[in-house]
Structures are given as C-alpha cells and as structure tokens.
C-alpha cells in the first residue's frame, strides 16, 4: 500500500521528469538536465528518489545546471555523512539536509519553481511515502537514507529511509501529478558488480542485487527513457563525477535526437 503525503491538485499538462536513485551515479542526472535545456525542454513536474531527489530539489528551486555541477564536483562521501553510531545506523544523513539548507535556505515544497515530490520508504511497515509538502531538506534526507548505513529520518511519526527500496525511478508519481508527457532517467540500467573491499561494498552490492529489478523502467511506461551507461562506475565513488555528468549528457542527447 502506498502512503501519499500530497496535495490534491494535479497537473493537466506539461512534462514530468523522474530522476532515479543510484548514489554517486546520480551525477549523470546533471548532464541530462543540461541536454534537456539545450533542447528547450523544461519540466513542469520533477520527482526524485534518493540522489535523484537531491538533484531534483536543487533544480526545482532554481539552481542552474552549472551551479549543481559545481556542488556535485565539490562533494565527497565524507561531506554527506557523519559518524553517528546508533542501534539504527552507522552514520547520520543530516549533512544532506545541511547541504540543501546552505544552497537553498530552509525552503518548503510549496516555494519550488517547479512542482517537486520525492519518494521515501517507511521502514516500519514497508509503505511508499511520497513527500511534496513541508521542509524540502528533511524530505531529501529521508529519500537518500540508505538503510543500515544511515539511521532513519523521522517525519510525522514515520521512520523513513531510501525510496529506492520501493520505486527506484518514480514514474508513478508523475502520473499522479497528471503530466502529459513523461521522461525517466535510470542511472542503474547497466550495472556491473565488483569484488567488495569493505563492509560498505558488501552492503552496497547486496542492495543492488536485491533491488536491481526496481531500477529498470519499461519503455512503454514513459514517453522518453534515458539510460546513461555507467556500468564501470561505483555508486560510492565520487572521484569520477565529471565523467558521469558527461555520460548523462551523451545518453540524453542520443535519446532526445532519436525521440
């Protein structure tokens, strides 16, 4: 059962953009946004899961592609996490919220330039939770909260974690908005696995293997599907951000030209 924290208004037209989960692979979303702008495509709705929620929030509140790229290139794993040993997780995910507050201020969904929603998972009952009101930073913290690694984020009495557990690329939310045309960005379409080096790699591979089918979007479900070829990159490695941005751009240009 899905639990939706949404207002009742639906769009009747416009383009909807769904940005999928993938941790560091989400840098490719920036290249996609660049290509969309070059083709004069501006979404009326943005939905995001995990890293897609972070990139989507920055764009929905008016940050330029260049500004988002600069933010992404400056990020490191240690910049977006904080040691917080507890019975619920190894790290705290509060740094993500602070990052958004630094660049956007303590904004709410209602203030967005482009209608925005992010997806999280209620770890207590397995329900999908769609957040599109209240504090944006808090919602993005929840959507990017990888289970076990990060302790859950509590919102309205719910214990929330990464939305990728239930909907890796949140196309269904665009349909709830009533978008006339839908574009989905799946950054996990060509995943490869490598021998783990540490506990984080073990957990990462385990989640990827268990959830990989959720990342794939059927072409018949959307009007345009963009799938950057990121199989050679780790979702935990922020050392190749520029390369992944370029691959996102190339995949988007190719898809848009074919479309």
- Residues identified as active-site: 50, 162
CA angle 252, 257, 259 (to 5 degrees): 90
Could you tell me if residue 11 is left (phi over 0), alpha (psi between -120 and 50 degrees) or otherwise beta?
beta
DSSP of 140-162: HHHHT--BEEEPPEEETTEEEEE
SS3 of 29-82:
HHHHHHHHHHCCCCCCEEEEECHHHHHHHHHHCCCCHHHHHHHHHCCCHHHHCE
CA angle 172, 177, 180 (to 5 degrees): 90
Residue 121 has which token pair?
A: 């998972």
Angle between helix axes 94-104 and 136-143 (nearest 10 degrees) is: 140
Residue 188, strand partner residues: none
d(CA 90, CA 67): 31
- Residue 20's Cα: distance from chain center in Å? 5
Residue with tokens 């990052």: 99
User: Is there a contact between 182 and 223 (Cβ–Cβ < 8 Å)?
Assistant: yes
């Amino acid at each position: 059962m899905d639990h939706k924290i949404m207002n009742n208004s639906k769009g009747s037209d416009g383009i909807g953009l769904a940005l999928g989960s993938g941790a560091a692979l989400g840098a490719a979303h920036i290249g996609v946004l660049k290509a969309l702008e070059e083709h004069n495509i501006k979404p009326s709705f943005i939905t995001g899961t995990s890293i897609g929620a972070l990139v989507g929030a920055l764009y929905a509140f008016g940050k330029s592609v260049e500004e988002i790229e600069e933010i992404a290139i400056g990020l490191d794993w240690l910049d977006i996490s904080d040691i917080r040993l507890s019975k619920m997780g190894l790290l705290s995910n509060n740094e993500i919220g602070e990052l958004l507050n630094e660049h956007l201020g303590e904004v709410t969904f209602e203030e967005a330039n482009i209608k925005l929603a992010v997806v999280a998972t209620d770890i207590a009952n397995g329900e999908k939770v769609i957040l599109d009101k209240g504090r944006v930073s808090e919602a993005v913290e929840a959507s990017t909260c990888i289970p076990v690694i990060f302790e859950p984020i509590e919102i309205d009495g719910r214990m929330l974690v990464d939305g990728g557990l239930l909907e890796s690329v949140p196309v269904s939310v665009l349909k709830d908005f009533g978008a006339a045309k839908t574009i989905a960005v799946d950054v996990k379409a060509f995943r490869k696995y490598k021998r783990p080096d540490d506990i984080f790699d073990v957990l990462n591979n385990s989640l990827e293997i268990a959830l990989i089918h959720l990342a794939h979007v059927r072409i018949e479900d959307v009007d345009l599907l963009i799938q950057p070829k990121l199989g050679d990159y780790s979702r935990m490695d922020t050392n190749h951000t520029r390369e992944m941005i370029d691959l996102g751009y190339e995949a988007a240009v190719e898809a848009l030209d074919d479309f």
